[in-house]
Amino acid sequence: MQLQVYLLLNVSYAFISKHKIIKIMMNNLSLLLPKNRRPVLPANFNSIDGELDNELSRLIDIPLLGIITAGKPIERVEQSEQVKVPANMVRKDTYALKVSGHSMIDDNIQDGDIVIIEKRQSAENGQSVVALINNEQVTLKKFYIEADGIRLQPANPDMAAILLKNEEVEVLGVVTGVIRQFE
């Protein structure tokens, strides 16, 4: 049996096959989300439960464009596949990338996860982005504007930041969700 977990904003659902939805309770969800993004469920959560189930049960195909490293930047690896995601995870110009590496583990982005990306050319400090470096290499890192350029910061204390001049970095998109599959 395969289990897929979709992480978006304050609610997470696990899908077992296409028919049965299991809600992950807050205790388990807290283990999957970074400390600063752990959910506080509203008191009326049960009354909106059915509405969320209905919305999350609708799956939409989005392009899975290739591999992104969460580690040392690599040259673009593009492919042309599709991945099904809940409709509420899809925004304007949304695509997916498969993660390779461990530099984003403190943001609960693991090797093998699929990240949902909203195509954008700008980002706010602290957002996880797909960054193009020197028009050649791509990587998944947290984005920070510094006085002397751009810092691409891994969410892993064992890895060093990448410091670049403004003209050496182009934001290709911002992470809006994560899909993790369990066998």
State the catalytic residues: 103, 141
Give dist(CA 47, CA 50) in Å, integer.
Answer: 7
For the chain, give the number of residues.
183
